[in-house]
Amino acid sequence: MRRGLLRRAWVAVALASAGAHASAQLEVSIPSADVSRGPSLMLKAYWFAAPGTEPAPAVVLLHGCGGMYDRRGVLSQRMREYAKLLNGIGMHALVVDSLTPRGETQICTQKVRSRLITQAHRRLDALSSLEWLAARSDVDATRLGLLGWSNGGSTVLAATNERHTDAVSGGDTVKPSFAIAFYPGCETDLRRGYETQTRVLMLLGEADDWTPAAACKRLAEQTQGRKPEVESYRGAWHGFDSTAPVRLRTDVPNGVSPGKGVHVGGDPKAYAQSRERLLRFLAEAASAPKR
């Protein structure tokens, strides 16, 4: 009872103050365990340090198929917004670019089966980023998280799925203690079989015709080990956590009806509800016993 009251108070404070505290972004380089293109792939990333001097939890932010930059070539509003949110609740944020180091700026308009950057590659990027975080003295390595959207949400699932056997550095792989996936594509890990001991939250749009919620709900039901927590929002399309108007993207060849396009855009109610649910989840992750 007392813990629940404290979490609700924590969320209320976070909602009021998260946007007010953010460090300047610092560009860093992270070696990826992906050696498919040679042994020297370096990922570009931006580090947003939480305020304070004590080791703090840290979260890897994983962009969608459109990459982490906007049309001006600067870090997108979504990435900056969530980095500020995390800093405001005392968590470090690491925004990782999986595309431009491999010569791509976006993969949304590519058919899934023809993509040269796959979930196998991005999974290794995520795990390498966790290793980078765990080695830092200002990070609480017992409280590491992943946060991804769409293709990055699928990366969250791949990185937490213990059915994968590849490790990062020949030793014990650093694993996240919590992970959040916004509207991920779940079909690949549904076919593979999903098994995890990580606490996972999936936030889904019921109307999503790009990465449909139904596959993610089946994955959660069939999960071996710790089952993911699922929240879905009625009438919400892909990308509901934004203020952008809903539009039909006819340049995307994937989705429920290939060739007919997919809908993308914000939903004010789902946006607000998912933000509150995310903060509750993070509060519980921050207060959980250390691993």
Query: What local confidence, expressed as pLDDT, does residue 6 receive?
Result: 46
Range of the domain at 123: 2-287
CB 270, CB 241: distance < 8 Å: yes
Does the reported pTM lie above 0.85?
yes
Task: Provide the token pair at 103.
Answer: 């010569």
Query: What local confidence, expressed as pLDDT, does residue 8 receive?
Result: 57
Query: What local confidence, expressed as pLDDT, does residue 38 receive?
Result: 80
Mean per-residue pLDDT pooled into runs of 10, the chain (291 residues) = 51 53 83 87 97 95 98 96 97 98 97 95 97 97 98 98 72 87 97 96 98 98 96 98 98 96 98 98 87 60
Could you tell me the CATH number of the domain that includes residue 240? 3.40.50.1820
State how many domains the chain has: 1
Query: What local confidence, expressed as pLDDT, does residue 12 receive?
Result: 57
Query: What local confidence, expressed as pLDDT, does residue 14 receive?
Result: 57
